[in-house]
Amino acid sequence: MSTPEKPSRFALDSFPDAPPEGDRWSSWDRSQHGPAPRPDWVITSLGAVDADLGVLKTGKEADVHLVRRWVPDGTSSPAADTLLAAKRFRTHHHRLFHRDAGYLEGRRVRRSREMRAMARRTEFGKQLVSGQWAGAEFAALSELHTRGLPVPYPVQLDGREMLMEFIGDPDGVAAPRLAAIRPGRALLKDLFEQLYAALTLLAAAGWAHGDLSAYNVLVHATRVIIIDWPQVVDIIGNPQGFAFLHRDCHNISEWFTRQGLSVDGEVLFADLCATAGTDR
């Protein structure tokens, strides 16, 4: 007859590495970080927990999730609890690579073997292209935020996942896209002036958004925030750079014109061409 085991003096945790009330521990320590100075709301504690609160947006290239990062230490400080937008790029098996070629012209990687693989769209080349989208958007947001453009602050990059500033209300309601609002005349004019100033700074830096439309602009408390930057285009280095800039100008001008504010896309394009690359 076996002897019964003595009860343990201590409670045993079957999952000692699992975070409390969250999906995972913060990945801050293994990630590439956003530019300095870092906003006060960015949580860098290695004891922080990330909880996925659901999908904010789905797309062909990536899905965006709402993530709560918080420190379970009993404090109630805003600096210990924040909302983030997690953009998770799809693998090369779930992407539409026929759209990539024009945007990637002018971008370079270190090894000629990698350049050839990307150009030929081999399996290895597709993996490189897929990885470039997340890195390109993180680098662009870092540079643009530093230059003072209205973009979300990029918190960190970990593989194909980028965490960035959540643009919306504290209760998790995201700011609407420009395409979803119907502003009055005064606000409409102010929104265009904000975009004009931002696009002028962008062109001066030598870049075009590459896919600008009323769907890639958020309006938060009457302030415009431009999002979705993985296809950012080097106007000078990309042979199609000015064509992308021209398309951006016409897309956004047509939306404002339909809302009742007459905006000439050709005039906007000429203005941006005049400043292109002057602040490199």
CA 129, chain centre distance (Å):
17
Domain range list for the chain: 24-165, 178-275
**The two structure tokens encoding residue 29:** 């320590």
Distances (CA, A) of 97 to 92, 120, 180, 239: 8, 11, 29, 19
Per-residue pLDDT reduced to its tens digit, 37-46? 999 999 998 8
Taking each helix axis as running N to C, give the angle between helix 265-275 and helix 185-204, from 0 to 180 degrees, rounded to the nearest 10: 30
Assess whether the previous peptide bond of 152 is cis (omega < 30° from 0).
Answer: no
Mean pLDDT of 2-26: 56
**Alpha carbon separation from 273 to 20, 181, 201, 202, 207 (Å, rounded):** 53, 29, 12, 11, 11
The predicted pLDDT at position 100 comes to 53
Distances (CA, A) of 212 to 49, 170, 245, 252: 34, 27, 9, 7
Residues 207-229 pLDDT 10s: 999 999 999 999 999 999 999 99
Average pLDDT over residues 76-80: 64
Residue 194 has a pLDDT of 98
Q: Which of 92-106, 157-171, 195-209, 247-261 has the lowest mean pLDDT?
A: 92-106
Residue 192 token pair: 């265009």
Amino acid 134: pLDDT:
87
The pLDDT of residue 92 is 56
The residue whose two tokens read 């609002």 is: 181
Superfamily of domain 178-275: Transferase(Phosphotransferase) domain 1 (1.10.510.10)
Give the whole-number percent of the chain exceeding pLDDT 70: 76
CATH number of 24-165: 3.30.200.20
Distance CA 202, CA 22 (A): 38
Mean local confidence (pLDDT), 2-23: 52
> Would the pTM of this model clear 0.85, i.e. be above it?
no
3-class SS of residue 229 = coil
Domain 24-165 identical in fold to domain 178-275: no
Mean pLDDT (the chain) is 84
